Structure 1
Amino acid sequence: MANRLSHYDPFTSLSRYDPLRGVEDFFREFGLQPGTREFAAQPTIRLDVDETDQSYEVKAEMPGLKKEDIKVDIDGKRVSIAAEVKREQEQKEGTTVLRCERYTGQLYRSFTLDQDVDDAHVTAKYENGVLQLHLPKAQTKAGRKVQIS
């Protein structure tokens, strides 16, 4: 009987339960570094998208950026927002630098809408850390009946 069960080892199919697995990702989502009380320097783009009969209205939270560093691309139904981020923070006492934190990187967010956007009439405004996009819907052309001769 021991020979028939020798190929089965119940301990190799068990996995150890770790109740704290994934906690680091949870804290990073809120901008905190695990094990510290300081905020991480990894910004994200948070979006609100509203739809009316004629257009889409997008609000993207992008605090601390310059409007020159933000790029918006529209390709049919696809909207892409990208930004170059450069942040420097120093704390000095006298001439000695006690702490210096730098972050350089890019933010990128892309999403697809239900209808094509009329890119000729899009307007964008960046104020108080919020990018506002007015994206008019493209007029759909009615189908044309073809007469067969």
Structure 2
Amino acid sequence: MANNVTRYDPMRELMRFDPFRSLDDIVRDFPLASALRGLDVDRRLRVDVTDSEHDYVVKADIPGARKEDIRVSVDGNVVSISATVQNEQQQTSGGTIYSERYTGAQFRSFSLPQEVDDTRTAAKYEDGVLHLTLPKKPGTARKQIAIQ
């Protein structure tokens, strides 16, 4: 009778290098992920960036942050957004009360294809969404060089 015993290594998935695999994929496949699914641990700063002829428009979801706790910096074509977030939730059901508080910092930095004119940028924070208008700096567009 053949004995097919396989040794289980919980760190195997974490140690396997795959440059196209995100940390979310690794955590989702982790054996304890199903037990942790009900917890709201996704506190990432979500960003949408659109490109038009003259500027970039950025929308960043930062729920629970106050306008005073958000910092935006532009250095050439690199945009950095950081925020201190405080969130408190409370639910009442019958005689049971559920309360959860979260305080933490979020940070996001990304590069744009063209430098930004930081003298004409505009920022507005409304309903948990940060809106940035980042005008392109004239004459700094990347050029593709033909190889002969």
Q: TM-score range by the shorter chain?
A: 0.5 to 0.7
Give the TM-score normalised by the residue count of structure 1: 0.64
Give the residue type in structure 2 aligned to 1:56: Y
Structure 2 CA distance, aligned partners of 1:27 and 1:129?
Answer: 31
Question: What SS is found at the alignment partner of 1:56?
Answer: strand
Residue 104 of structure 2 is matched in structure 1 by: 105
Question: What SS is found at the alignment partner of 1:44?
Answer: coil
Residue 45 of structure 1 is matched in structure 2 by: 45
Question: What SS is found at the alignment partner of 2:87?
Answer: strand
Residue 65 of structure 1 is matched in structure 2 by: 65
Q: Residues 66-145 of structure 1 correspond to what in structure 2 (within 5 A)?
A: 66-89=66-89, 99-140=98-139
Structure 2 CA distance, aligned partners of 1:64 and 1:86?
Answer: 5
Structure 1 CA distance, aligned partners of 2:53 and 2:27?
Answer: 39
Contact residue 64 and residue 86 of structure 2 kept, 8 A: no
Structure 1 CA distance, aligned partners of 2:7 and 2:34?
Answer: 25
Q: Are residues 64 and 104 of structure 1, via their aligned partners in 2, closer, same or farther at CA, if it must alter by over 3 Å? A: closer
Give the TM-score normalised by the residue count of structure 2: 0.65
TM-aligned CA deviation for residue 138 of structure 1: 0.8
Give the residue type in structure 1 aligned to 2:126: E
Q: Which has the larger radius of gyration?
A: 1
Structure 1 CA distance, aligned partners of 2:51 and 2:88?
Answer: 37
What are the ranges of 5 or more consecutive residues in structure 2 without an aligned counterpart? 1-5, 15-24, 141-148
TM-aligned CA deviation for residue 46 of structure 1: 1.1
Q: Are residues 27 and 81 of structure 1, via their aligned partners in 2, closer, same or farther at CA, if it must alter by over 3 Å? A: farther
What are the ranges of 5 or more consecutive residues in structure 1 without an aligned counterpart? 1-13, 142-149
Contact residue 63 and residue 85 of structure 2 kept, 8 A: no
Count of matched residue positions in the alignment of Structure 1 and Structure 2: 120
TM-aligned CA deviation for residue 35 of structure 1: 1.3
Structure 2 CA distance, aligned partners of 1:120 and 1:44?
Answer: 28
TM-aligned CA deviation for residue 90 of structure 1: 5.1
Contact residue 24 and residue 34 of structure 1 kept, 8 A: no
TM-aligned CA deviation for residue 98 of structure 1: 5.5
Instruction: Quote the sequence identity (%).
Output: 41
Structure 1 CA distance, aligned partners of 2:91 and 2:52?
Answer: 48
Give the residue type in structure 1 aligned to 2:130: L
Structure 2 CA distance, aligned partners of 1:50 and 1:91?
Answer: 37
Alignment root-mean-square deviation, CA: 3.2
TM-aligned CA deviation for residue 101 of structure 1: 2.9
Contact residue 55 and residue 133 of structure 2 kept, 8 A: yes
